Amino acid sequence: MKRLCTGSLALGLAVVLAAGCSRESPKGGPGTGKSSTTTTSGTGGTSTTTTTTDGDDYFKIGVPTGHTNVDQGGQTAVKVDVNRHGKFNEEVTLKFEPTAGSGLKVEPATVKVPADKKYAEVTVMAEAGAKVGTTNVKVIATPMTGKATEQELGMEVKKK
């Protein structure tokens, strides 16, 4: 019985490691295709992946899995990946919208990721009186052509 439990734990950890350390958005940009969503959960957090079954010129954005911590009155850097697929090679504009009333602010609120860059780094700041607990920042990614996509960036505000 002990062996079975250890094997289950190892399998769960392997699933989390295989899923990676970020969550990706649904695809955006040119090329429309059918997609399906798979959610994998485990010890290290939850990872959501969208798999495209047709259409090969698109992009996805990736945000950290789980919640990124920030103290009241503090700030933290967050990296957002732009994963281009197929022949998609366009600039992507990222817009950050914190949940209303959360006390969070993102600088810069809008950033352009050139075609030759794979990520952008922004600073998430929490007001001194920011609401303690978990909240989200919506990340909207808009390509030069094609459709936009979005992903929620999980944030946890800690008491200072």
pLDDT given at position 37: 52
pLDDT for the residue numbered 51:
41
Cα 118 to the center of its chain, rounded Å: 14
Contact between 30 and 1 (Cβ < 8 Å): no
pTM summary value: 0.71
Tokens 């008491």, residue? 159
φ/ψ of residue 85, rounded to 5 = -130, 150
155 neighbors 38 (Cβ within 8 angstroms): no
CATH (domain of 76): 2.60.40.10
Domain range holding 134?
2-158
Pick 41 or 60 by higher pLDDT: 60
Predicted local confidence at residue 23, as pLDDT: 73
Cα 125 to chain centroid distance, Å, stands at 17
The domain tally of the chain equals 1
Q: Compute the distance between CA of residue 91 and CA of residue 19 in angstroms, rounded to an integer.
A: 26
Eight-class DSSP state of 99: P
pLDDT digits (tens, 9 = 90+) for 126-159: 999 999 999 999 999 999 999 999 999 999 999 9
Percentage of residues in the chain having pLDDT higher than 70? 69
Residue 104 CA to residue 126 CA, distance in Å, equals 5
pLDDT for position 24? 74
